[in-house]
Amino acid sequence: MSAEPQQEWTFEEYLAHDRESEVRYEYLDGQIFAMSGASRKHNLVNSNIQAALHPQVRGHGCEIYVCDMRVRIPAADLGTYPDIVVVCGEPEFEGEKEDVLTNPTLLVEVLSPSTEDYDHGKKFAHYRTLPSLASYLMFAQDEVHVELFERQAANRWAFSELRSLEDVLDLPVIESRLALADVYAAVPGIG
């Protein structure tokens, strides 16, 4: 991500700019950052996750959004685009347009070499400030590796890790399961 050459943006200025731009931007504390394109492997993993989750969450009071739903995190002054967002219950949006979600239940990131440290560190710290967030998933794109963080009582987070194509990931918060063989199906170099 690279910062645009403007000193300071309000979130409203960012939204107006981002809505008109052909490039997607993240917003963090008054700065905007152009998002780079995703690799073939990243896209395959992302679309496999979406394809596996969509039929499971449909009809269970949940909605799934892929790539283009902004999530607003007021405590971090962040506007970001997770790879996949699931919201259960009534979605809540900032403003009149329904393009800035404020109450995600599950967030998914497919890790890229350029964003992996941020997704594990500061971004996850920002995500944890969302009261609605129950689970955070990170998927490697170059190997079978999934990390799941689930919110527990007293705002503690439990960690699970899977590394085999035979593994099945249970996601009780959205009443779903993900077979890693499905997630990594047809991803070059895996399997």
- 83 pLDDT more than 80: yes
- Comparing C-alpha atoms, which of 48, 83, 91, 78 is closest to residue 182? 48
63 and 28 in a common domain: no
Percent of the chain with pLDDT over 70: 96
| H-helix segments, 2-160 | 11-20, 40-57, 116-120, 122-127
Type of residue numbered 68: D
* Residue range 141-169: mean pLDDT, rounded: 97
Residue located via tokens 């902004």: 70
* Residues 99, 14 contacting (CB under 8 angstroms): no
- 71 pLDDT more than 80: yes
Percent of the chain with pLDDT over 90: 88
**Is 156 within the bounds of a domain?**
yes
18 and 93 in a common domain: no
Phi-psi label, residue 181: left if phi above 0, alpha if psi -120 to 50, beta otherwise? alpha
149 and 71 in a common domain: yes
**Is 131 within the bounds of a domain?**
yes
80 and 158 in a common domain: yes
Range of the domain at 14: 1-35
* Residue range 9-31: mean pLDDT, rounded: 95
**Is 191 within the bounds of a domain?**
no
Query: How many domains does one find in the chain?
Result: 2
Q: How does pLDDT run across 97-112, given as a tens digit for each residue?
A: 999 999 999 999 999 9
89 and 16 in a common domain: no
Q: How far apart are the first and last CA of the chain?
A: 31
pLDDT given for residue 191 in this prediction: 66
118 and 80 in a common domain: yes
42 and 27 in a common domain: no
